[in-house]
Amino acid sequence: MSEPGSLLRSLSGRSTARNYHSHVINEIGAGVISGRYPIGTTLPNDAELMEEFEVSRTVLREALKTLEAKGLLEARPKVGTKVAKKSRWSLYDPQVLAWHLEAPVDAEFLSGLHEVRRSLEPQAAAEVARRRTADQIRLMLYWIHQMETSLGSLQNFALADFELHRIIADSAHNPFVRALYGVIELAHALAYKALMAAPDPCLLDALLEKHRLLVNRIEYGDEAGARAAMLETIEHDRKVAQRSG
């Protein structure tokens, strides 16, 4: 899952890996995040993994190298490939973040996820309010309209919600905010996954109003109002996501 929005689209059904290489990466990566391969343990040897995934040694080794680059694994001479400590995981990697969607809810991880958003997104909203352009406002209003017309489709509503946040992140012209795409999308996916388990149309109406207010404050150049409105949307996502805990 590397394209923005692909994680939210996957909520309607598990995505199929594009090839054997992707399949091995996804299965082992998700297995590490979920704890199926516990931290500090050594993975089965190459022969066992080749048999399990029905792949060649070349495909397996390339997949393991990719997971090493993401900080999930570490190869040790004469020991094998071990699952790395959490402190080494590349948590801003969209794929690593995506694997957390199916893992058991970790309260510390969830808290950190929303804390990162609270630290940067509200300031981004304020910055956009300060120097917004007509084109940026048109795009934001477009996604508000998409949310309005998608109240009967949770997945489409979620995608429109995420795209609105992505437009704001882009409009802030801050590369560190743009680096949050994966964080923002996972936060939305966790919230909407909880809503899929227990649908509540009233919550969507409330969320739409929060986003209308956010865009309104940006459009009128209200930096403090935009900051506060963004905080409200993040807090809403946090509370809804906690339902799955």
Question: Could you report the per-residue pLDDT of 113-158, keeping only the tens digit for each?
Answer: 999 999 999 999 999 999 999 999 999 999 999 999 999 999 999 9
Summarised one tens digit per residue, pLDDT across range 26-66 is 999 999 999 999 999 999 999 999 999 999 999 999 999 99
Same-domain status, 83 and 117? no
Same-domain status, 193 and 228? yes
Residue 165 included in any domain: yes
> 245 pLDDT band (50/70/90 cuts)?
low
Residue 173 included in any domain: yes
Same-domain status, 135 and 225? yes
Q: Are 137 and 123 in contact (CB under 8 A)?
A: no
Specify the DSSP class assigned to residue 153: -
CATH at 74: 1.10.10.10
Residue 95 included in any domain: no
CATH at 158: 1.20.120.530
What pLDDT score was predicted for residue 18? 62
In 3-state terms, what secondary structure has residue 179?
coil
Summarised one tens digit per residue, pLDDT across range 68-92 is 999 999 998 888 999 999 999 999 9
* Distance in angstroms (rounded) separating the CA atoms of residues 40 and 172: 40
CA proximity to 226, closest of 234, 214, 237, 238: 214
Q: Are 32 and 73 in contact (CB under 8 A)?
A: yes
The pTM assigned to this predicted structure is: 0.87
* Distance in angstroms (rounded) separating the CA atoms of residues 30 and 99: 5
Check the CA dihedral 99-101-103-109 and report its sign: positive
DSSP 109-139: HHHHHHHHHHHHHHHHHHHHHHH--HHHHHH
Residue 97 included in any domain: no
Q: Are 219 and 137 in contact (CB under 8 A)?
A: yes
Same-domain status, 126 and 192? yes
Same-domain status, 125 and 40? no
CA proximity to 161, closest of 182, 179, 145, 138: 145
Distances from the Cα of 30 to the Cαs of 79, 115, 162, in angstroms? 22, 24, 23
Which pair of structure tokens corresponds to residue 63? Answer: 């997949």
Same-domain status, 110 and 80? no
Same-domain status, 154 and 208? yes
Number of domains in the chain: 2
Residue 84 included in any domain: yes
> 1 pLDDT band (50/70/90 cuts)?
very low
CA dihedral 113, 104, 35, 158 (to 10 degrees): -60
Structural domain span for residue 136: 106-244
> 19 pLDDT band (50/70/90 cuts)?
confident
Arithmetic mean of pLDDT over the chain: 92
